[in-house]
Amino acid sequence: MTKAKSNIENTMGRIQLIIIRVIVYTFMILLAVLCLFFFYLMVINSTRSNAQLATGFTLLPKGNFLVNLKNAWNDASINIPRGMLNSLIIAVSSALLTTYFSALTAYGVHVYDFRGKKFVFSFIMAIMMIPSQVSALGFVQMMNKLHLNNSFIPLIVPSIAAPVVFFYMKQYMESVLPLEVIDAARVDGSNEFRTFNTIVLPMLKPAIAVQMIFSFVSSWNNFFVPALLLDKAEKKTVPIMISQLRSADYSKFDMGKVYMFILLAILPVIVVYVFLSKSIIKGVTAGSVKG
């Protein structure tokens, strides 16, 4: 009886575990469908003509994809190729500078023991709490005085100072970078920059991948500051061009072309995520556990 009861309890436990797993996986699948549904809908709409879009909602693609692509790419009022190139230059440069110099700053705070170390860390964290909109007016005025409006420099160089990226890198270093490794490199005669570039950076690859894609997406989607600094057509970025679609002549408004433009605008972000997805997952999971 005792053995039979034990078997029944084990069976009930397995059934409960299976039920819980089914519920969890069902919930996760539902969330995934909800997240991907609007992206799927955008892709479907990019294959439809303006007249087809006016008829209502559909889940099946149509045959107007290449026509919309041609119309969007060759639009004389909005230069998509130039806008994507501008956004790509700014986003890639910002991502590289942000991750490298934030990691370098985090390395200095993590490795060196100096007076005021806690104050420096607290000061950087305090800056993280200040919204960029607060200082935008003074920043734009300063750039105008320096004649740097309609230039990519104000959109790239300030990305060196990124408190959020610094904080993530600092926490990640505490998990994966023991100080004994740095001491051993110094004993072998390696200088600080060589140690950082050849030893520390390879150890930070997952964290760098995470922050590079976050920085890339943030810079690619940035509208507020570029809209204040860039007014020449050949300098405008993708978010500015998308905002200009709202002011287009309604009689000439082609929704199929608009959906294609939006699809082209998010395509680079998808490509970056696909190439860095494995490193991103590894970086998030490794950086969340302090060893």
Q: 206: domain CATH number?
A: 1.10.3720.10
- Domain assignment present for residue 220? The answer is yes
In the block, residue with structure tokens 């009022």: 77
- Overall domain count for the chain: 1
How far apart are the two ends of the chain, measured CA to CA in Å? Answer: 47
pLDDT for residue 89: 93
- Domain assignment present for residue 227? The answer is yes
**Region for 75 from its dihedrals, namely left if φ exceeds 0, alpha if ψ lies in -120 to 50, beta otherwise:** beta
- Domain assignment present for residue 266? The answer is yes
- Domain assignment present for residue 30? The answer is no
- Reduced to 3 states, what is the DSSP secondary structure of residue 146? coil
Amino acid at 12: M
- Domain assignment present for residue 205? The answer is yes
pTM: 0.79
DSSP conformation class of 160:
G
Among residues 38, 53, 64, the alpha carbon closest in space to that of 255 is found at 53
Q: Give dist(CA 151, CA 139) in Å, integer.
A: 14
From the first residue on, what is the mean pLDDT of each consecutive set of 10 residues in the chain (291 residues)?
Answer: 64 81 91 86 87 82 86 81 90 92 90 85 83 80 88 90 88 85 85 87 86 88 88 88 69 77 85 72 53 42
- Domain assignment present for residue 92? The answer is yes
pLDDT for residue 289: 45
Task: Provide the domain limits for residue 73.
Answer: 67-287
Distance of CA 4 to the CA centre of its chain: 56
Per-residue CA distances from 147 to 15, 94, 154, 155, 222 (Å)? 70, 21, 11, 14, 21
- Domain assignment present for residue 15? The answer is no
pLDDT for residue 288: 47
- Domain assignment present for residue 24? The answer is no
